Structure 1
Amino acid sequence: MGLNKETAARPAETRLAEWRRLGYDDWRAMLDDKELRLVVGQDDKRYSVVSYALDDGDGRVRMSVAVDDGGWSALAPLVRDEIMNSDGTFVSSEIEQTRRR
């Protein structure tokens, strides 16, 4: 059985929500840092949650979270990310605003 994507997405979204409360300077301070958390999902399986920040160019910072269950999913984990502009806005927010126009 493969990775339960719905269950794996929960810790990824939780981690991104923690980051969304921080400002741009905090995001820049985390560049090239990595963090590993081991969490137990609602399915009682252990998940590895790896979080890291990358310079996305033009002053943007990309926060990525990769989640796997230690099986084959370690080769292709579930990945969620957010990108923050230097003015503190999120790239995804700009895309949504453009779609509404």
Structure 2
Amino acid sequence: MKQITAKEVEAMLEKDPSLNIVDVREVDEVETGKIPGAIHIPLGLLEFRMQELDKSKEYIMVCRSGARSGRASQFLDYHGYKVINMTGGMMFWEGPTE
């Protein structure tokens, strides 16, 4: 599974704010702030909403610590999606939130 750090994602967003980011945290967690532009799909709904994602694009998966996004990455990878897990999750995010 491909991985990326929060710092690397932040640097990439500065160059390209149209990155495809999927936040798999629960609703109450996202209410505390998410990466600007991130798509919110709670992990429990990913199986039912994965068709909303485009297999030709690459997605950076995010959660609180990197564990749930890791599971989401494995699941989507198995189904033919291009994904990268953000290690450390939002606990290590120092960039802006919305």
Instruction: Normalising by structure 2, report the TM-score.
Output: 0.27
For the pair shown, which has the larger CA radius of gyration, 1 or 2?
Answer: 1
- Structure with the bigger RCO (C-alpha within 8 Å, sep 6+) is 2
Structure number with higher helix proportion: 2
Structure number with higher strand proportion: 1
Instruction: Normalising by structure 1, report the TM-score.
Output: 0.27
